[in-house]
A = this chain, B = another copy of it.
Amino acid sequence: MDQLDLAEVHRFAARIAIEAGSYLRDQALARTQAGGASTALGDSIQIKENAADLVTKADMHSEHLISSAIRDRFPGHKIIGEESYSAGQEKRFLLDDDPTWIIDPLDGTVNFVHLFPTCCVSVGFCVNKKPVVGAIFAPILGGLHLTNASGSLYSAASGLGAWSTPISFPFSSSALSTPPADAPAYAKPAPWAHAVPLPYIPPQPLPADAPKGCLFTAEWGKARSDAPESNLTKKVNSFWNMAAEVGGRGGKGGMVHGVRSLGSAALDLVYVATGAVDVFWEGGCWEWDVCAGIVLIAEAGGRVVPSQPPSPAHLSDRSLPIPDADLGSRLYLAVRPCADTADESGREAQDRLVCEIWRRTELLDYKRPT
């Protein structure tokens, strides 16, 4: 393990995320009027029991591309992939201390099926159960064009920073070569040309009355039961609390600046890392949805913690430390990097925001199948 060069692993993760994303983009283009019928995807959409849970051959082939590249390059590494994992009945938490890749070959499958732009490939890498490298590539975010198009790469490695890079199609891996000598001098050296550091803007102070003024992302998800204690009911009530006027909803009104839902947890985490989104609160995610994004947020200076307080005392006793989220817990709350001020450190501001979210959101019930 000591020999692992995280900069090299970062470059490799970025490359395979882009290559899988380029393949997905080709599949999407093939369905368009402009792209013609060169590659038919129409017959490959399989509908599982729940209409909100689609899986495509493209999804499985994307995982195959990524897994094959990993096995070639790092034959000793383990791989946990969304598609192969989901195909089995086994949903126990399988991660151990070995070097392990955790990949979502297509996050936002529903979006991809509809050609809605917020879908991506998410490639994460863990050592000792800790996410240390992540690469997320959104291949159709800029539109579906045969020419003059580009995709968005967001990537990070522990200690080496978090980065955003425009990627042109067709992709050449030389785009990920080391940066030119006259590259801008950021706080950390850019990993390759045209990479810009995240967060995009330097961390800002947290408003005194947060979550008022915050941009909040959340996802409706696939669980749609109407029962009073269902996750859908709890989610809607939580979103409603976050949106309502201050003083509303029995005092839980958060008056956030906006509520956004993109249909991709990986991209929600990306936008927390860029600083655009102040808060992402979600239950139901699997490891492959969040592994890469956790590295991005950690390197950008944000935090990913449990979506609900470890104990009721955490709501009132600010001296109790707030732990990082457990990978595999399925319950996540991410907050953006915050600047230090005269009154509180950035970390204290994040803790304050976490408590304000916990107060306004309901306890979700997402467990692992046993």
Complex interface: chain B residues within 8 A of A152 (CB) = 142-143
- Contacting A164 at CB < 8 Å: which of B144, B164, B166, B220? B144
Contact code string A137-171 (vs B, CB < 8 Å = 1, else 0): 00001111111111110000000000011101000
**B196 with A220: CB separation less than 8 A:** no
Contact code string A91-118 (vs B, CB < 8 Å = 1, else 0): 0000000000000000000110111111
**B225 with A248: CB separation less than 8 A:** yes
Complex interface: chain B residues within 8 A of A275 (CB) = 114-115
A120 to chain B, nearest CB (A): 12
Also in contact, A200 and B33, with CB within 8 A (given A143-B152, A224-B245, A226-B253): yes
**B116 with A276: CB separation less than 8 A:** yes
What is the size category of the interface that chain A forms with chain B?
35 or more
**B116 with A260: CB separation less than 8 A:** yes
A38 to chain B, nearest CB (A): 13
**B114 with A257: CB separation less than 8 A:** yes
**A200 with B260: CB separation less than 8 A:** no
A201 at the interface (CB under 8 A from B): yes
A367 to chain B, nearest CB (A): 20
**B253 with A243: CB separation less than 8 A:** no
- A278 and B260 CA atoms in complex are apart in Å by 18
A279 to chain B, nearest CB (A): 11
Complex interface: chain B residues within 8 A of A263 (CB) = 258, 260
A55 at the interface (CB under 8 A from B): no
Complex interface: chain B residues within 8 A of A276 (CB) = 111, 114-117
A322 at the interface (CB under 8 A from B): no
- A255 and B274 CA atoms in complex are apart in Å by 32
A262 at the interface (CB under 8 A from B): yes
Within 8 A of B (CB), among A273-287: 274-278
Complex interface: chain B residues within 8 A of A33 (CB) = 186, 196-197, 199-202
- Contacting A201 at CB < 8 Å: which of B31, B145, B199, B271? B31
Within 8 A of B (CB), among A226-254: 226, 232, 236, 239-240, 243-245, 247-249, 253
Q: List 9 A-B contacts (CB under 8 A).
A: A51-B257, A114-B278, A142-B152, A144-B200, A146-B194, A146-B196, A150-B150, A224-B253, A226-B244
Q: Which residues of A contact B (CB under 8 A)?
A: 31-34, 51-52, 54, 110-111, 113-118, 141-152, 164-166, 168, 184, 186, 194, 196-197, 199-202, 212-213, 215, 220, 224-226, 232, 236, 239-240, 243-245, 247-249, 253, 255, 257-263, 271, 274-278
Known: A31-B201, A145-B196. 17 other contacts (CB 8 A): A31-B200, A34-B196, A52-B255, A110-B215, A110-B257, A111-B258, A114-B277, A141-B141, A142-B150, A143-B152, A143-B166, A144-B200, A146-B194, A147-B166, A148-B168, A150-B166, A225-B245
